[in-house]
Amino acid sequence: METSTNPFWNNVQAVVTVAAFVLCIGLRLIPAFVLAAPYLPDPWVHIAKADSILQWGYFDIWGDYADHWPGLNILIALLSAFLGIDTITVGQFLIPLLCSLSLVFFYLLIRRLTGSGLIALTSLLLMGFASPLTLIMGTTYKEGLARLFLSAALFAFVTRSSSRVVRVLPVVICVGVIIPIHHLTFLVAGTALLFAVISTQIFSLRRGELTRWSWLFQTFGYFSVFAFAVLYYVIFNCAGLLPVDTTSLVVGLFAYIVLFGALNLRRLLATGTTTDLKLVLGGLMIVAVIALAGSLIFRPIFPLTVLPAPTLLLLAPLLATITLAWMGLASIDELSTQVKILFSSWVFALFAISFYAFFSGHSSVNLILTYRLFIFSLAPLSALAGIGVFAYASSHPRRTRIVQTGLIIGLLAVLPVSTLAFNRDPFFGYGCSVTPPIQVSNQWLAAHAPTDAVIVGDHLFTYYLEYYLERNTDVAGGIQLFVGGDHATTFAFAGVHSFMEENGFWLPSGVQWTPLDTDIVDWLATQAEICLVFNNGVVQLYRRGQSN
């Protein structure tokens, strides 16, 4: 699959590629300009930590949860100090811009692997409009920054020179940087990289591409960073976040041995890939998608949270992209062994972690990994879909209209998801945007509420007050009041926003929400001891008398 040598079409392709980058990166910067505040509630944690670093001149890695992974906090502080601008502006504009640069490395990665700028451009467009990635890379978020270094690590991995063992260092450095930035990114991406490293090292040793000492040096470099990650997470008790029991361990090992060992290595080391194996791979992909959907629909992440049927319909058009990705996986043998190693390892790693998440028996693992796996699958799916489009077109030149139609469906399929994410669909992004009215109401509270006043509301409303201003907020009290209808709940101020009334109370988990008590808003408006003190059309603030 080679790029055309026609100068005219190459120039057209270059212009379209630049336009695609501007469009995809611009999409991620829109919230910064429209909202006039960092997108998502999470940035306030990191901005506050960056302010503390600038104030005290150091950071305490042994502090709370946000201190254990300080990479983003340190970066905001450094950019603010060197550029002379405030940390809020850095979080609002510069960090989303840096996170968006992962698209550049993704494009370069696919172009290097396939030798085709058109395939890379197609893959870029497919991934560029994926709404979860738009949300994550459009704000100050640990996972977005970690994705930048993950993309750089993958690109360094495929461009390294086997004859110069020192070229392993950029890979090790980029992977190592991910560790103190975001633990879950390393868990998922690190597994994929580990699978790719094992496959590559076995293949290189079998082909005699490296001397024994060079092979040992490379292998030691790769596995030292993974050992460091394990040690880092043990020190900061990541096991408490991702508990492992005997059943989970057995399932994980089974997934590793069967999916990776029996299938992937056979695929890499055999002279050819049989049709039966391609069917197995396609079948596994379908099973994984069904298991993912079933995990969210029939097996609640938390007792209150299942995937709503309307939201499920938003995912249905993505089957077009999955179909194209299957075409790419089935035709991957036409490309180099390096391509087979990377994508086979990437896909099988996602399979293995999917099995672990689904059968782990822990609701927290199911929540964290299932949702993240959907997000992490978008990159390999987009890349394989780009390969599938051109593989199909090259073998069926008279039916390119079918491919074009499928590609358009794949592109447009994610746009409704993106639109609903910005409109606060309950699952895709409802709790993921801070609008100016919410920010204005928080600033009013900061100016008028006593510093010891108990403020109740959902996590979308209280995040800025709690983590940036360090005010006395009580989300648990908000649950008692707004969800449980407990009128005796202690509070000085209660915040109700229209998104809460439409979609429900957003809980601290980030994707867990539950309907309000049907009478609670009317009760607040009719109590003599409670008065409405602020209303901007989106947020209503109620103050309770001293008698509680």
Summarize the confidence of residues 341-345 as an average pLDDT: 76
Mean pLDDT of the chain: 76
Query: In Å, what is the CA distance from 132 to each residue of 46, 150, 200?
Result: 20, 17, 31
Task: Please check whether residue 210 is in contact with residue 218, taking contact to mean a CB–CB distance below 8 angstroms.
Answer: yes
Specify the pairing of strand 455-456 against strand 493-497: parallel
Say whether pLDDT at 52 is over 60: yes
Domain ranges for the chain: 244-433, 436-544
With CA atoms as reference, report the closest residue to 263 among 326, 195, 208, 331. Answer: 195
Two tokens at 518?
């049907």
The model's pLDDT over 372-410, given as tens digits with 9 standing for 90+, comes to 777 788 888 888 888 888 777 777 666 666 666 666 666
The single-letter code of the amino acid at 87 is: T
Q: How far is CA 305 from CA 54, 426, 511, 514, in A?
A: 40, 10, 8, 7
440-462 pLDDT, tens per residue? 898 899 899 998 899 999 888 88
Vertex 98: Cα angle to 93 and 103 (nearest 5):
125
- What does the alpha-carbon distance between residue 509 and residue 503 come to, in Å, rounded to a whole number? 16
Q: How far apart are CA 20 and CA 457, in angstroms?
A: 40
| Nearest CA among 296, 286, 305, 320 for reference residue 416 | 320
Q: What is the CA radius of gyration of the chain?
A: 25
Query: Which pTM value belongs to this model?
Result: 0.83
Highest averaged pLDDT of the listed ranges 245-249, 355-359, 360-364, 409-413: 355-359
Could you list the beta-strand ranges (E) of 343-480. 455-456, 473-474
- pLDDT bracket for residue 72 (50, 70, 90): very high
pLDDT > 70? residue 431 = no
Using CA atoms, how far residue 488 sits from 23, 87, 449, 481, 523, in Å, is 51, 40, 21, 8, 12
| Chain centre distance of CA 489 | 36
CA distances from 546 to 217, 480, 525 (A): 69, 19, 17
How far apart, in whole angstroms, are the C-alpha atoms of residue 455 and residue 478? 8
Query: Which residues have a Cβ under 8 Å from the Cβ of 9 and sit 6 or more positions away?
Result: none
